[in-house]
Amino acid sequence: MNPTERRQVRRLASLGSRELARLWRAGRLDCPSAWLALKAASCFRRSIRDFGLAQPGVQQARLATCQACPCASVGKPGRLAAVSVVSCGPLGVDRTGEAEPTCGCIVAVVDAGGSWSPAGKTAIERAHDGCSADCPQGRF
């Protein structure tokens, strides 16, 4: 992810709920991007604040696990950031009770060049209630 893409992602994640709603109503923000920003703003942001990020080696190991997983779902690039969100199964859909469980959580972002970076559950050390740092299939 290049510096411009990082700034765009940080900007999107830092927007308040009123600003996100305004952008969504104006058609400048798609639903998955809005969900990403709100989810990150609430659960993952608190987890990062209180527990910090996982060590780089841990993040990379989790990321490699998700890259190899057939359940990883790469979304379309957002309108405000030229990155794609990677989720565990369909974004925002909890299927933890199924035979091949997925949680719908964000696990990575992919930049325009195809490089994956840890995000969401692959990046955090520990999680607050409402989000998880564990793979629903027990891989990490």
Residue 55 domain-assigned?
Answer: yes
Number of domains making up the chain? 1
| CB burial readout 98-111, b (16+ within 10 A) else e | eeebbbbbbbbbbb
Residue 136 domain-assigned?
Answer: no
The C-alpha atoms of residue 66 and residue 62 are separated, in whole angstroms, by 6
Give the pLDDT confidence of 36-90 residue by residue, as tens digits: 666 655 777 778 778 888 899 999 999 999 999 999 999 876 655 567 888 899 8
Residue 127 domain-assigned?
Answer: no
DSSP letters spanning 64-95: HHHHH-TTEEE-PPPSSSS-EEEEESSTT--B
Confidence of residue 100 (pLDDT cuts 50, 70, 90): very high
Give the pLDDT confidence of 2-33 residue by residue, as tens digits: 566 556 555 555 555 666 666 667 776 666 66
What is the span of the domain harbouring residue 111? Answer: 3-122
| pLDDT at residue 37, rounded to an integer | 60
Residue 85 domain-assigned?
Answer: yes
Token code pair at residue 86: 């990677």
Q: Choose among 62, 56, 84, 86: nearest CA to 73.
A: 86
Of the segments 28-37, 101-110, 126-135, which one has the largest average pLDDT value? Answer: 101-110
Residue 132 domain-assigned?
Answer: no
Output 136 or 83, whichever has higher pLDDT. 136
| pLDDT at residue 34, rounded to an integer | 66
